[in-house]
Amino acid sequence: MAEKKMEYVNLGRSGLKVSKVILGAMSYGSSKWQPWVLEEAESLPLLEHAYKCGINTWDTADIYSHGLSEKIVGKALKQYNIPRNKVVILSKCYFGVVEDDVSVQIAGVSVNDGDMVNSVGLSRKHIFDAVEKSVERLGTYIDVLQIHRLDRGTPREEIMKALNDVIEKGWVRYIGASSMAAWEFQTLQNIAEKNGWHKFISMQNYYNLIYREEEREMIHTVKTQASA
């Protein structure tokens, strides 16, 4: 029997196609961050295998092992001579990143104050700083930048303008959202549309067989928006 090939679908209304199976890279980095995380030597072959299986879409974030996950994704491209145009890289920004101490937990880098002032959230400053560092760690641009959380302390116009501008700068190709209420997602989309800025093409929310709250409003909202 012939081997079944991976299927690819458009992400929302965009022309970007992603593999139906997406590889999550949260578990690649350092066990000092979380005990279930694989070290680099164990992670790299899995990325290569995923690519050979047609899984061309890899989802990471700057907070995963405080940047190490992004570095491993970037290293896999070089080590296995994977053409950049053959993969879709998704990353995220919001939380603070402490590269010199990967043992710091998310709770310690989730408040925009003290040692982490201006290094957490979605201010224009932090979005630009975070994306620039992610691109540096990956060694390449980001196909889809997702906001990991909604920063309710920053004006939404500032958030959407900054996201628009990292696309215009060439660091990012598309933007996506994560972890917010449907009305908040719609508000951000409305701001972008009103100003002629780039809109979100995707929403990555908490949804599984047990937690199905997203069926109440979010799924209907993204379908109306033609997002994924």
Integer Cα distance of 219 and 228 in angstroms: 9
Q: Which residue has the tokens 């997002």?
A: 227
* Residue 111: band (very low, low, confident or very high) from pLDDT cuts 50, 70, 90: very high
* CB-based contact 30:20 (threshold 8 Å): no
DSSP 217: T
Average pLDDT over residues 166-180: 97
CA dihedral 208, 51, 198, 179 (to 10 degrees): 20
CATH architecture of 11-225: Alpha-Beta Barrel (3.20)
Of all residues in the chain, the percent with pLDDT exceeding 90 is: 89
pLDDT value at 89 more than 50: yes
* Residue 143: band (very low, low, confident or very high) from pLDDT cuts 50, 70, 90: very high
Mean of all residue pLDDT scores within the chain: 95
Predicted confidence at residue 1, as pLDDT, reads: 39
Q: Give catalytic residues, as residue numbers.
A: 64
Instruction: Give the three-state DSSP class for 220.
Output: helix
Predicted confidence at residue 4, as pLDDT, reads: 56
Q: What distance lies between CA 96 and its chain's CA centroid?
A: 14
pLDDT value at 123 more than 90: yes
12 compared with 207, residue with greater pLDDT: 12
The region of weakest confidence among 4-13, 173-182, 191-200 is 4-13
Does the CA dihedral 135-139-141-142 come out positive or negative?
Answer: negative
Q: Which residue has the tokens 């005990």?
A: 35
* Residue 19: band (very low, low, confident or very high) from pLDDT cuts 50, 70, 90: very high
Of all residues in the chain, the percent with pLDDT exceeding 70 is: 97
DSSP codes of every residue in 111-144: SSSGGGTTSSS--HHHHHHHHHHHHHHHTS-EEE
Integer Cα distance of 36 and 164 in angstroms: 35
pLDDT in tens, 28-83: 999 999 999 999 999 999 999 999 999 999 999 999 999 999 999 999 999 999 99
pLDDT in tens, 126-137: 999 999 999 999
Predicted confidence at residue 5, as pLDDT, reads: 87
